[in-house]
Amino acid sequence: MSRDFPTLKLSTPQEHVLQVTLSRPEVANAMNTQMGLDLMHCFEDIALDPKDVRAIVVTGAGDKAFCAGGDLKERKGMTDEQWGRQHVIFERMVRAIMACPTPVIAAVNGAAYAGGCEIALCCDFIYAADHARFALTEVTLGIMPGAGATQNLTRAVGERRAKEIILSGKPFSVNEAAEWGVVNRVFSGTELLGEALKMAGTIARNAPISVRQAKQAISRGANMSVWDGLAFEIEAYNRMVPTEDRREGINSFNEKRPPVFKGR
């Protein structure tokens, strides 16, 4: 996987954990075409070959903004054709993040507006700083959310709340986000990244095949009937029976030692 992206900073703060930092601080990490391409390629590369990455934390550079949304200065003067071509990139970016087999935690360190809020919603769950704010402002600009929010937000907060948020375009606080189920946990700005990385480390120490299969069963099962979901769960479960990690987990428990999982 390439680690050279113009708008992203990639680092490995601990074993098996990848930190992806949206890095355009001069424009509040606003998402331009290049960032869309960078996120798309980054997450597609991980899906094709995760190497030793077992958990991912996505955050923004600085302490004021996670991502302010689409770069409207870049979009000024775009033709319909140019706008459409850019949006195809954003569509692939969304699918790449959502389909990533590796767990993805959003560490929202400030404003997450419009497309920035949608990036966070594409992640598996969200930790946020106590000064973070959220908004889906697209309808105030003559467009609508087009990077997953009408689907991901509705699944997080329910249809009625999603309509209130999206149709009004009004910002909402981190406390409201936590109350409504958008955000899992709230931390001070100084604690946020450390806590997100701590949780990523906890996930990364678990059996990677088990984690990937469980994530897939949850994500896909949520859109099935309970009976189809149960059938899918069993298929996912059976994938682990012949693995070395399954045997290692049982042996380590009985031998009273920490397991050493290899993803095999």
Asked if residues 172 and 135 have their Cβ atoms less than 8 Å apart, the reply is: yes
Note the pLDDT of residue 1.
55
> Could you tell me the sign of the dihedral formed by the alpha carbons of 78, 79, 82, 88, in that order?
positive
Give the separation between CA 255 and CA 171, rounded to whole angstroms: 53
Q: How would you write 57-78 as a 3-class SS string?
A: EEEECCCCEEECCECHHHHCCC
How would you write the pLDDT of the chain (264 residues) with one tens digit per residue?
A: 557 899 999 999 999 999 999 999 999 999 999 999 999 999 999 999 998 999 999 999 999 999 999 999 998 999 999 999 999 999 999 999 999 999 999 999 999 999 999 999 999 999 999 999 999 999 999 999 999 999 999 999 999 999 999 999 999 999 999 999 999 999 999 999 999 999 999 999 999 999 999 999 999 988 899 999 999 899 998 988 999 888 988 899 899 988 888 888
Give the separation between CA 49 and CA 177, rounded to whole angstroms: 34
Burial of 199 per CB tally in 10 Å (0-12, 13-18, 19+): buried
Q: CA angle, corner 199, sides to 48 and 53, nearest 5? A: 20
Q: Which contacts of 259-262 are long-range, i.e. CB under 8 A and separated by 24 or more positions?
A: 259/207, 261/205, 261/206, 261/207, 261/208
* CATH value of 207-254 in 3.40.50.300, 3.30.930.10, 1.10.3720.10, 1.10.12.10: 1.10.12.10
CA 123 to chain centre: 2
Query: Could you give the residue range(s) of every CATH 3.90.226.10 domain in the chain?
Result: 8-204
* CATH value of 8-204 in 3.20.20.140, 3.30.499.10, 3.90.226.10, 3.40.50.2300: 3.90.226.10
Instruction: Report pTM.
Output: 0.92
Asked if residues 33 and 86 have their Cβ atoms less than 8 Å apart, the reply is: yes
Note the pLDDT of residue 2.
57
- Angle formed by the axes of helices 149-157 and 159-168, nearest 10°: 130
- The residue count of the chain comes to 264
Query: Could you give the residue range(s) of every CATH 1.10.12.10 domain in the chain?
Result: 207-254
Task: Cite the active site residues.
Answer: 118, 138
Give the separation between CA 57 and CA 124, rounded to whole angstroms: 10
Torsion of CA 247, 250, 255, 256, to 10 degrees: 130
The H-assigned helical ranges of the chain are 33-48, 72-75, 80-98, 115-122, 149-157, 159-168, 174-180, 192-205, 208-221, 226-238, 244-254
